[in-house]
Amino acid sequence: MSPTGRRRPSRRSGRSRILALLGTAALAVGGAVALPGTAQAANILGNNGFETGSLGPWSCTGNLGSVVSSPVHGGTKALAGAASASDNAKCSQTVAVQPNTTYTLSGWVRGSYAYLGVDGGGSTWTQSPSAYAQLTVKFTTGASQTSATVYTHGWYGQGTYYADDISLDGPGGSTDTQAPTAPTGLTSTAKTSSSVSLSWGAASDNVGVTGYDIYSGGSNKLLTVSGTSATVSGLSPSTAYSFTVKAHDAAGNSSPASNAVSVTTSAGSGGTTGFKQAAPYFYTGWGNPPSPSTVMSATGVKWFTMAFILSSGGCNPAWDGSRALTGGQDQTAINAIRAAGGDIVPSIGGWSGNKLGPNCSTPEALAGAYQKVIDAYGLKAIDVDIENTDEFENTVVQDRILNALKIVKANNPGLRTILTFGTSTTGPTSYGNRLIEQAKALNADIDVFTIMPFDFGGGNDMYGNTVNAAEGLKTKLKSVFGWDDTTAYAHIGISGMNGLSDQQETTTPAIWTQIKDWANSKHIARLAFWSVNRDRPCAGGGVAENCSGISQDNWQFTKITAGFTG
């Protein structure tokens, strides 16, 4: 939001973490005991350095693996696994091996709790978030074992890990070059405005099918599953998609594609049905913060937008960049809000400070940072306040934020995603237009696009300028997404500034009431303002942290905002 009174965050030291780690079972050997053979030093893994630019023949759980250009250990590519609170982003490859033979698995990993191991055998891990470290595991195959699955993974809720130059040294097993048959009878079993459920008949293989890959448009692999059904999430409403499925075996052979099935996602508000939010900004680190429960009791407001989540150094989220996510004054305020029957949406970013968008190197890493905030409070919605040259006017970071929001929305069913950004008096600026266009192009499925109609640099018709800016946003959303007026309004948010703005524009309680009434008449999704801390009178006080600079009653703007119902 506004730079008024914003402090740049100070770095904080990292907090210690304790994880309960399970040991791994030894590889079972059946039949008669025999001395193991000697492995010859020859790597038998495919795409071990990920230099092909794609994952195959590796497959990753939850569609959480990707190939990145940085950071790498060797060459120009590496694997990134975006571990979430519910998925450790396990990436594995199955290869043919010889029975009763000793193999050496080694690889370079980087991240908080990054693992290397073999299914049914040993594993090892390291905590190396800032540099690659080499891990090595030796194992001996069973007397009748002909395949082995090696893997790397992160740990739940610890963010993205990286792996590179993974090798399995030893003699290869028998060569399987026969591909599975094509899956049959692909059909859609259900759909929503943002997801499609699919099922198909099983493929067959001379050795055995180990998984199925779901594709969109014939070449874009969306996810890999082990069974004969899947749900593809993160789609756009009222949009046609074509899906096919291929089977693969342990040797990495891929079947022909199944029949194609075309599905158009449901029409509607793209997940925003019934989503209405009156949520003024509340900031515990600035401006003599009031008791939120006192404000709630006096005004009837239920939601607050909590400012601000920033980087405490690298891709690590913290309140104001300096206060731990849990256990401090911010959690105390959130607990009080929830105890009074309300809830919060965090504002991630803002005008100033060290932000996560530029500091997290990949969409997966940024999604991992967002996930930490979501998990800390079991959130129903998150808001990314994308501003300034480091995020809003940086096209690489714009796309990173959109892709990260797509990931967390897919991983958190029901989560609402909000983008907040500046505007001109007639609608989005060129960077705002690009943000909206990329949200469509990347299928980010953003629920609410919130504009900040103030600091225009001239003119003081705050009602007229706000309405004109919102109407311009509506027109852009209709053009890009093909929505009607009702659907476009249902994706719009307004976040104003009460009293005097940084550029001396004046929004009085009467004007804010007009804006609230217009917002209700158009049934938009969200109404907010900067900020509750400033929602107190100080006529002639100028632009201040703890008052509005105009004559008003205590919490008058908050009470007006509480009357927004959409």
Which residues carry out catalysis? 387
Element (H, E) at 290: none
In degrees rounded to 5, what are phi and psi of residue 527?
Answer: -135, 125
Give strand ranges (E) for 286-439.
Answer: 303-311, 317-319, 343-350, 381-386, 416-422
- Cα–Cα distances in Å, from 131 out to 84, 128, 161, 256? 21, 6, 11, 41
Q: Which DSSP state fits 182? A: P
- Report the C-alpha gap between 121 and 61 in whole angstroms: 19
Whether the Cβ atoms of residue 452 and residue 501 lie closer than 8 Å to each other? no
- Report the C-alpha gap between 464 and 269 in whole angstroms: 26
Tokens of 537: 């009178």
- Cα–Cα distances in Å, from 450 out to 272, 446, 494? 13, 11, 5
Q: Cα-atom radius of gyration of the chain, to the nearest Å?
A: 27
- Report the C-alpha gap between 149 and 64 in whole angstroms: 18
Nearest 5 degrees, angle CA 119-CA 123-CA 124?
160
- Report the C-alpha gap between 354 and 252 in whole angstroms: 44
Whether the Cβ atoms of residue 337 and residue 344 lie closer than 8 Å to each other? yes
Q: Which of 233, 219, 180, 227 is nearest to 199 (CA)?
A: 227
Whether the Cβ atoms of residue 162 and residue 82 lie closer than 8 Å to each other? no
Q: Which of 294, 351, 349 is nearest to 558 (CA)?
A: 294
Give the number of other CB atoms < 10 A from CB of residue 462: 22
In terms of DSSP bridges, do strands 91-96 and 147-153 run parallel, antiparallel, or are they unpaired?
Answer: antiparallel
In degrees rounded to 5, what are phi and psi of residue 448?
Answer: -140, 130
DSSP string for residues in 97-163: B-TTBEEEEEEEEEEEEEEEEETTS-EEEEEEEEEEEEEEEEEE--TT--EEEEEEE--TTSEEEEE
Tokens of 89: 């982003």
Whether the Cβ atoms of residue 180 and residue 203 lie closer than 8 Å to each other? yes
In degrees rounded to 5, what are phi and psi of residue 35?
Answer: -70, 135
Whether the Cβ atoms of residue 383 and residue 346 lie closer than 8 Å to each other? yes
| Amino acid symbol at 220 | N
In terms of DSSP bridges, do strands 343-350 and 381-386 run parallel, antiparallel, or are they unpaired?
Answer: parallel
- Report the C-alpha gap between 476 and 462 in whole angstroms: 21
Burial (CB < 10 A; 0-12, 13-18, 19+), residue 417, is buried
How many Cα atoms occupy the beta-carbon half-sphere of 323 within 13 Å? 17
Tokens of 246: 């291929």
